[in-house]
Structure 1
Amino acid sequence: MKLLYIILSLFSVLINAQIESIPKDSLTSSVDTLKVTQTSREDSLTASVDTLKKSNDIDEVTINQFSVKKLNSPISTDVYSQQFFRKNPTANMFEAIAMVNDVKPQLNCAVCNTGDIHINGLEGAYTMILIDGMPIVSSLSTVYGLSGIPNSLIDRIEVTKGPASSIYGSEAMGGVINIITKNALQAPDFATDVMTGNQGEINLDIAKKVFDNKNFSSLLSLNYFYFGNRIDQNKDNFTDTPLQNRISVFNKWNFKRKENRQASFALRYFYEDRFGGEMQWQKQNRGSDDVYGESIYTNRFEFFGIYQLPLKEKFLLQYSYNYHHQDSFYGNTSYLATQKVLFLQMNWEKQLGKHLLKSGTTLKSTFYDDNTPGTANLEGENQPMKSPIYGFYLEDEWEINDKNTLLLGYRYDYHKIHKSVHSPRVAWKFEPNPYHTLRLSFGTGFRVVNLFTEDHSALTGSREVVIADDLKPEKSLNTNLSYLMKIPIKDYFINVDVNGFYSYFNNKIVGDFDTEPDKIIYDNLAGHAISRGISADISTNWSLPIQLMFGVTYMDVYQENEGDKIQQLHAPKWSGTYNLSYQFANKFSMDLTGQFYGPMRLPTVPDDFRPEYSPWFTLMNIQLTKKFDNGFEIYGGIRNLLNFTPKNPILRPFDPFDNQVDDVASNPYGYSFDTTYGYAPMQGIRTFLGIRYQIR
């Protein structure tokens, strides 16, 4: 805390000195010239109070420097540009998304660091990850695919908190994260970004326009990440961070067509070799019970695109296909899995007076096979899952008047096992003046369950998996309330964005970690589950060289069955983010970013010596950046400034195969090896340094 006080004091001195050096008339003229734009580049992201009036722009407000936009829609959606995430540069989207309030990347295994993304306290299976509007990341790929999305691909990220099943169908009950990749027509001719750190990690991004003419452009991008140092700072004989060797090759084509009709397609190949385990593990130990290691080979291919038909009416064909193969060993437990997902969607859109009508038909076909009981029939024979889902949706966005907009949506899906599923949605936006916007939405959600691909603790082999009964699809009722207020104060203004959410679940699938310490028992909850809470984001928009952004979330996520209330695992009641940026002269800047978390319930075992709830903690980072006129940019800083790491993330690390678990003298409480307790990264304080360069 003393270090934080010193840093904040330094910021205060710099602010006062800078304010005194700026003439008052200069401040006024600077604010007047700020305008809302749709570009994500930091030097052109500006806004003014005057342009906050209702217009046809998609931006309701743009937060200067932070590159954050609020879409002008009845559904509350925030847009974060790549520049926002450069305040704390990371090697992949999974780590970067932690900068968004109420969006929590969760590490589910203290050995191989697999993870998912929680929104509103709900597990990662409730968050739909889209790439260019396509459901590329789902089911099996949520386990390891998220860390394979390099930030170099990203132009911007759209985050919708709360259910969106009427448009996207299953897997969108908690929220949607839509990753928009770079447009080849607008991308630089060449760009590169190289980053390393004191622990030996290397991240390399290279992007080059390979074709660029009057009809089309093609962008070829390569990302390579390597981390090969075995580090064990907590001395439990397990790697604190898994060794990783991964490569991602991305190629996108954008076409120029008459009347600005859309046309693009992209391909991506991803490969990763990941290992976490005992320090003495070698490749020859893979799959043996001599030395414990979790070794994962991942091969993944993606193809997706969009094509607007050459018709007077606006018809958009969206398509995607992905192939994901995983060859894994968790100790001596093998996990082999293959997933193929085909997605097709035809959209129609038309403006009729004050009504913006949208409708579409969808087909999502999933093939999934693995070597676990999850794909076995009642006789124990292997039976791959083939799950086509047919859908239809209709939506009407009705601009009643200058102050009121109403959205009515309905989706129908048909699943061969779960049959008909209905998902209506209603949303209302009230904007009495340019400084106040109220949004209210209500709807239902559903989720088709694929157990073994959604809960990594079922894969590690550290606990036996028990499926109590036939699992039924989950259903939910949801409501969200959002209030955006823009407070003008002299020559600047402050943005306050408050969101309340409430979801009620039936048939919620829960993993019982408590009844038997060596088992995970899955079943539909006989009672119900609730996710409720409120989040608030405060940010500044002014011409001063300092920009502030602070977010805080309070939530209560729990299950209730026969009068017993059980808090959701890894769902802290209090959490938040902070971001302070200071712009010095000569294109030199400093960024202080971080997240803080209150106590969260952890998967302990009976008579566990470890606390059931985590402590309060913060993950703080600081970065210095220098830009040059010739296109070069140098940046560096410190991650985890306060050096926080969780204690005892692995239970009985000295006996990973439970060879002495029945020895009462040495193990009186009957503990068994378990990797599910980890709740934060094991990497302590560390430095990083990087160079960017681009040619336009």
Structure 2
Amino acid sequence: MKFKLLTTATLLLLLPNTYADVYNDTIDESADFFDDFYGSEQMVEIATGIKTQIYKAPAVATVFTAEQIKNMGATDIDDVLETVPGLHISRNAIGYNPIYSFRGIYSSNNGQALMMINGTPITNSFTGNRNQVWGGMPVEAIARIEVMRGPGSAIYGADAFAGVINIITKNADDIADNQVAYRAGTFDTHDVWLTLAGHSGNFKYASIFEYHKTDGSDKIITADRQTLNDIAHGTSVSNAPGQVSRYTENYDYRGELNYHDLTIRAGIQKRLRGIGIGLAEALDPSSRQSSTRWNFDISYDKQLTPNFEYQIKASYFDTTQEVEKDYIIYPSGYANSYPDGLIGNPEVFERHKRLNFNALYSGWSTHKIRFGMGYHNADLYKTKETKNFSFGANGENIPPGSPLQDVSDTDYIFLKERARDNTYLFIQDVWNFTNDWELTTGIRYDQYSDFGSTTNPRLALVWSTSLNLSTKLLYGKAFRAPSFSELGNINNPSQLGNPNLNPETIETTELVFDYHPANSMSAIVSFYQYNWDEIIILIPDNDEENILTSQNYGKQSAQGAELELNWKYNDILNISINYAYSDAKNDLTNQKVLYVPAHQWFIQTELNLSESLHLNIRNNIIQDRQRALSDSRKDIDDYLLTDLALRWSPVNIPIELALISKNIFNVDAREPSLNRKEVVYLPNDLPLPGRTLFGEIRYRF
């Protein structure tokens, strides 16, 4: 295919000749070389729980600051995460939820990627992901994003499997000025936010309010699952051709209070959304789903002695997945029997309580010992369901065309209320056994009330090979806890849970070279290999071929490589390039893993055109995704998406303006839809948005 790539050479033609002078790469030998290159912001905590210079961190990590996020024109966290080497964001037909696929590890519910806010997981136990009514996450309240590729269960426990994403929100020190802002653009998109911060003596506060509303997309689905039903039943009721339902209205609040060693944080997220394609991949344009998520945590951090510090943290997280307007699984007239359509409205309500203690002792000259313990209670305290098919509240068959029946609190609901308790212990040692060598070892033990215990070790050897080169050898094991739906789904005509499931496991080995020949250039190369076992998949029941049951059945292995290059040509031009190669294989079929890209490229050019004018151009290339052998469709098309952000920040005026465009060449990019053996419900895959344009204004006060 032809890629309309905005190259660095083209951009250089736009610059005055004086900007093309060679940058003087002299290094101050009296300064620490790595400190000079990375700067104070390039510290990372996600690798060990201890703030570490990123070149020494015993992991493959990427850090984004608030300034970087703003300059790239990101409006949602997905805009940032897609730039991480080896991380691709695909889409689920239900809700168009993002699937964060690290290094070829793909599943529709995406429970293998752990997301945390300020170190606290936001996993929903129902399906093991971030929420079925996710609705995105805005970026104005974010101070930093730290991403670790590879396993992290030795530190973070369950679901720190393929990768870990930690979102660190802004406190008063991160907010230099109060701000109010407005952004508007394509698809009737409107964003408003207000940032407030201040302090009085040792008391500090920060509050960020964000509002987002959009119609989402105008892309058309030409045929869907109901199209096939129409052929089978001689009807004509499909909503295809029709638009993907990506309406979204979000309210977000993040607040933080600090007083001496005490920190209190609170957050609220409210979501109202369309259903994407639909629950059964039949277009559902009218349904609306909602979620209310709120979190609260309080932590006490104390430096007890110069060599001993500890943290006590308690957190509470309440999360819902609700139906605001009926889920129309199949449309009105389905099978000539359902005048209102086939309707099913499952709802779940969860609360999570955590209490954690961790401490760091650095009194020995060559060792830093971090240890801790904790408790987590996950309580699916309420499930609700109304429907007009299958079994009613008393176990009777619901005749076609019947009104909705409420089966909540009966034996015929889709999932019973349930809970689990998790207690854990961990210890980690960072041993600097010579000037140039550092060994990190760690182990964590988790005990679960519903599926037993699991132990996960890690080992990392970091060698400061030379002034300009660090070499890392990493090993880790991780697990994913079975979700409540995988354990307990009932009364589902096609998918059943299994209470005897074990957690999924993965073992990963990595070799990393972190090279900086000059303080304006860097190159990081990483090689990895992993084995993923006990994969929970749906397989036919022994007695009923058309009923699928969750089983620990799958196996996958992979090897791959990731390359990152950063070059600050001068104070005007900065270029970042990364490339990821993944060779992931299904060990049961000996075939390549479906739907994940074998090749990913990301090319970013940043230009400081003047003291107040900044231009960012990003190119994201996705190549070589596989379909199943039973899928008769043509190969999945590669694509290149180009985004642009132009920002004007005058020095002496409290106003900032920006023009942001995504997919500026209006490329018809698509993520793969699934197939069921030879049957394909969405033959033309899942379209991504076309060209979008946004204008933005910020006012500081």
Taking structure 2 as the reference length, the TM-score comes to: 0.80
1:214 aligns with 2:205: no
Q: Which of residues 437, 442, 447 in structure 2 aligns to 1:404?
A: 437
CA deviation after TM superposition for structure 1 residue 273, in Å: 0.9
**Aligned partners of 2:74, 2:547: CA distance in 1, in Å?**
33
Deviations 1:189-226 (A, max 9, x none): 412332221321111121112x5211211111111001
SS across alignment from 1:151: coil
1:614 aligns with 2:636: yes
* Partner residue in 1 for 2:524: 497
**Aligned partners of 1:439, 1:361: CA distance in 2, in Å?**
28
Q: Is the 8 A contact 2:42 2:63 kept in 1?
A: no
Deviations 1:538-570 (A, max 9, x none): 111343411110111111223212xx2243333
**Aligned partners of 1:87, 1:318: CA distance in 2, in Å?**
33
Cα 1:127–1:218, aligned 2, differ >3 Å: closer, same or farther? same
CA deviation after TM superposition for structure 1 residue 401, in Å: 1.7
SS across alignment from 1:585: coil
Deviations 1:644-689 (A, max 9, x none): 235697799xxxxxxxxxxxxxxxx9957459x845x521112121
The 5 A counterparts of 1:189-338 are: 189-209=177-197, 211-228=198-215, 231-233=218-220, 236-240=240-244, 242-255=246-259, 257=260, 262-276=261-275, 293-309=286-302, 311-312=304-305, 313-328=308-323, 329-331=326-328, 332-338=343-349
Cα 1:116–1:74, aligned 2, differ >3 Å: closer, same or farther? same
Runs of 4+ in structure 1 deviating by more than 6 angstroms, as ranges, are 33-36, 53-58, 375-381, 647-652
**Aligned partners of 1:581, 1:290: CA distance in 2, in Å?**
41
Q: Is the 8 A contact 2:513 2:525 kept in 1?
A: yes
1:578 aligns with 2:603: yes
* Partner residue in 2 for 1:693: 699
Q: Which of residues 529, 548, 554 in structure 1 aligns to 2:581?
A: 554
SS across alignment from 2:140: helix
Q: Is the 8 A contact 1:71 1:78 kept in 2?
A: no
Cα 1:310–1:407, aligned 2, differ >3 Å: closer, same or farther? closer
* Partner residue in 1 for 2:102: 119
SS across alignment from 1:446: strand
* Partner residue in 2 for 1:429: 462
Counterpart AA for 2:618: T
Counterpart AA for 1:181: T
* Partner residue in 1 for 2:476: 443
Counterpart AA for 2:310: F
In the alignment, structure 2 segments of 5+ residues that lack a partner are 45-51, 223-239, 329-342, 386-390, 392-407
Cα 1:170–1:234, aligned 2, differ >3 Å: closer, same or farther? closer
Q: Which of residues 343, 353, 356 in structure 2 aligns to 1:342?
A: 353
**Aligned partners of 2:507, 2:187: CA distance in 1, in Å?**
46
* Partner residue in 2 for 1:632: 655
For the aligned residue pairs, the C-alpha RMSD in angstroms reads: 3.9
SS across alignment from 2:624: coil
Deviations 1:383-406 (A, max 9, x none): 322111100000000111221000
**Aligned partners of 1:499, 1:136: CA distance in 2, in Å?**
29
Cα 1:120–1:318, aligned 2, differ >3 Å: closer, same or farther? farther
Q: Is the 8 A contact 2:379 2:418 kept in 1?
A: yes
Q: Is the 8 A contact 2:503 2:534 kept in 1?
A: yes
**Aligned partners of 1:73, 1:532: CA distance in 2, in Å?**
22
Percent of aligned pairs with the same amino acid: 16
Q: Which of residues 68, 72, 94 in structure 2 aligns to 1:84?
A: 68
Cα 1:560–1:521, aligned 2, differ >3 Å: closer, same or farther? farther
**Aligned partners of 1:579, 1:8: CA distance in 2, in Å?**
9
Deviations 1:225-279 (A, max 9, x none): 0114773456643323511111112211122x2xxxx42121111111101468x
CA deviation after TM superposition for structure 1 residue 159, in Å: 1.0
* Partner residue in 2 for 1:172: 160
**Aligned partners of 1:201, 1:647: CA distance in 2, in Å?**
22
Counterpart AA for 2:153: S
**Aligned partners of 1:568, 1:512: CA distance in 2, in Å?**
17
Deviations 1:115-158 (A, max 9, x none): 23222222331111111111134445613465443201110111
Cα 1:188–1:453, aligned 2, differ >3 Å: closer, same or farther? farther
Q: Which of residues 536, 543, 551 in structure 1 aligns to 2:563?
A: 536
CA deviation after TM superposition for structure 1 residue 185, in Å: 3.4
- What count of residue pairs does the alignment treat as equivalent? 625
**Aligned partners of 1:346, 1:469: CA distance in 2, in Å?**
31
1:417 aligns with 2:450: yes
Deviations 1:415-453 (A, max 9, x none): 123322111111110012221011111122122110648
Counterpart AA for 1:318: K
**Aligned partners of 1:380, 1:244: CA distance in 2, in Å?**
28
Cα 1:376–1:559, aligned 2, differ >3 Å: closer, same or farther? farther
SS across alignment from 1:85: helix
**Aligned partners of 2:288, 2:694: CA distance in 1, in Å?**
27
Taking structure 1 as the reference length, the TM-score comes to: 0.80
Counterpart AA for 1:242: R
Cα 1:378–1:572, aligned 2, differ >3 Å: closer, same or farther? farther
CA deviation after TM superposition for structure 1 residue 478, in Å: 1.7
**Aligned partners of 2:192, 2:420: CA distance in 1, in Å?**
38
Counterpart AA for 1:203: D
Q: Which of residues 46, 56, 78 in structure 2 aligns to 1:72?
A: 56
Counterpart AA for 1:422: T
**Aligned partners of 1:300, 1:537: CA distance in 2, in Å?**
36
**Aligned partners of 1:493, 1:684: CA distance in 2, in Å?**
36
* Partner residue in 1 for 2:121: 135
Cα 1:450–1:479, aligned 2, differ >3 Å: closer, same or farther? same
* Partner residue in 2 for 1:483: 513
Counterpart AA for 1:591: N
Cα 1:89–1:678, aligned 2, differ >3 Å: closer, same or farther? farther
Cα 1:487–1:291, aligned 2, differ >3 Å: closer, same or farther? closer
Q: Is the 8 A contact 1:376 1:382 kept in 2?
A: no
**Aligned partners of 1:671, 1:142: CA distance in 2, in Å?**
29
1:683 aligns with 2:689: yes
* Partner residue in 2 for 1:473: 503
* Partner residue in 1 for 2:404: none
1:589 aligns with 2:614: yes
CA deviation after TM superposition for structure 1 residue 56, in Å: 10
Q: Is the 8 A contact 1:148 1:248 kept in 2?
A: no
**Aligned partners of 1:628, 1:391: CA distance in 2, in Å?**
51
* Partner residue in 2 for 1:656: none
CA deviation after TM superposition for structure 1 residue 609, in Å: 5.2
* Partner residue in 1 for 2:340: none
Deviations 1:27-75 (A, max 9, x none): 43x8668999xxxxxxxxxxx9575599999749xxxxxxx98353223
Q: Is the 8 A contact 1:76 1:439 kept in 2?
A: no
SS across alignment from 1:95: helix
Counterpart AA for 1:133: G
Q: Is the 8 A contact 2:132 2:321 kept in 1?
A: no
1:395 aligns with 2:428: yes
**Aligned partners of 1:567, 1:268: CA distance in 2, in Å?**
41
Counterpart AA for 2:559: R
In the alignment, structure 1 segments of 5+ residues that lack a partner are 37-47, 61-67, 653-668
Q: Is the 8 A contact 2:373 2:424 kept in 1?
A: yes
Query: Larger deviation: 631-640 or 243-252?
Result: 631-640
